[in-house]
Amino acid sequence: MTRFVWSEEFELGIDIIDHQHQRIVEYINQIYDISAADLDAATGENTAEIKQVLASLVDYTVSHFAFEEALMEEADYPELSEHQLVHRQFTGLIENLKARCEQGEEVSQKLAAVLQQWLIQHIMTEDKGYAELVKQQLLGIEPEQHRHWVAEAVSRYFQ
Amino acid sequence: MSLQWSSDLEIGIPVIDSQHQRIVDYINGVERAHQHHSQAELLEVLDELIDYTLSHFAFEESLIEEAGYPFCKAHKKVHALFTRRIQAYQQSAKAGEDVTEELAHTLKTWLVNHIKHDDRDYTGVVKANMNEATKRVKTKSGSWMARLFG
Ligand SMILES: [Fe+2]
Ligand SMILES: [Fe+2]
């Protein structure tokens, strides 16, 4: 596993959500860095630091999910409850890792890899699923296709 | 470690920036209470912090609503979630639990993230709306002045 490098393909085109996702990525990278540094030093004592990052990650993720769910609700997104379920599963996963970490279990880079995998997968599938509707309903941005159609129609009309 | 106010916490709307700055002061008060090992001091500053934060949220929410910020509901939900969290900490503190260190950490991280990511997002819309409002007032007072001295 390597550090999570953010790129355009992860963007939904809703700035605030893209920024929140990037913040989560930073937290995951922090976990990766701490565990990597620890492997180098072979001290086996990364738990205190990771515990704190995990606590911040839980807090931030919960807040981000609440934000996203509010957007989906307002846009009448039909798959809101499924999406909420996935969010709750992820929150459960991080909370579980945090608890294990508190019990003194050594946290490896595997943990960062799991979080990274989950986030990429979630953004690319479930989050992309609501993006168009939210942009349309809340930002008044028409879907790409429709915009093309309008532009074409307009240019035809004024030819 | 106390939270140092710096320009990267500014969003560029002076009235909001000064309110955020005051919240930072209260958070540092929580930290001081922790250093003094004083539960009484903690409960007092926590009361003030919650009071002030609630009125700040109400102010901010009316500002973004008025400006037509598209993510008002979501922003409000995040405020409500945070309010419930600090109130839960307050309950634990009142019950005599030692939550100060965890609380100070949560407060600092939350506020910095919220300012830098969530609040900064509404700045453009709110500023544009404020400029419009100022312009309207100016034209109004302009015509009033014109009538008076014209
Ligand atoms: Fe999501
Ligand atoms: Fe806010």
pLDDT in tens, A86-144: 999 999 999 988 888 888 777 667 888 889 999 999 999 999 999 999 999 999 887 66
What span, in angstroms and rounded, lies between the C-alpha atoms of B71 and A26?
24
Output the average pLDDT for chain B.
Answer: 91
For B93, other C-beta atoms within 10 Å of its C-beta total: 19
CATH node for A13-158 = 1.20.120.50
- Determine the pLDDT at residue B150: 45
CATH superfamily of domain region B14-123: Hemerythrin-like (1.20.120.50)
Reported as a pLDDT band with limits 50, 70 and 90, residue B143 is low
> What is the DSSP-derived secondary structure letter of residue A125?
I
Chain B residue numbers with beta carbons less than 8 Å from the beta carbon of A61 are: none
- Determine the pLDDT at residue A13: 95
Mutation pick from B82, B111, B112, B113 vs chain A, by most beta carbons of A within 10 Å, is B113
What span, in angstroms and rounded, lies between the C-alpha atoms of A65 and A71?
10
Task: Locate the chain B residue with the closest alpha carbon to A58.
Answer: B106
The beta-strand segments (E) located in A38-126 are none
Tokens of B30: 């929580």
Task: Please give the distance of CA A108 from its chain centroid, rounded to a whole number.
Answer: 21
**ipTM for the whole complex:** 0.84
| Portion of chain B with pLDDT greater than 70, in percent | 93
Which residues are CB-contacts of A126 (< 8 A; sequence separation ≥ 6)?
A83, A86
Chain A residue numbers with beta carbons less than 8 Å from the beta carbon of B117 are: 16, 19-20, 23
Question: Is B118–A67 a contact, with Cβ atoms under 8 angstroms apart?
Answer: yes
> What would the pLDDT profile of B91-141 be if each residue is shown by its tens digit?
999 999 989 989 999 999 999 999 999 999 999 999 999 888 888 877 766
Question: Is B117–A71 a contact, with Cβ atoms under 8 angstroms apart?
Answer: no
Chain A positions contacting chain B at CB under 8 Å are: 15-16, 19-20, 23, 52, 55-56, 59-60, 62-63, 66-71, 73-74, 138-139
Q: Which residue has the higher pLDDT, A109 or B13?
A: B13
Lowest mean pLDDT among A25-39, A96-110, B71-85: A96-110
Per-residue burial over B101-133, b = 16 or more CB atoms within 10 Å of its CB, e = otherwise: eebbbbbbbbbbbbbebbbbbbbebbeebeeee
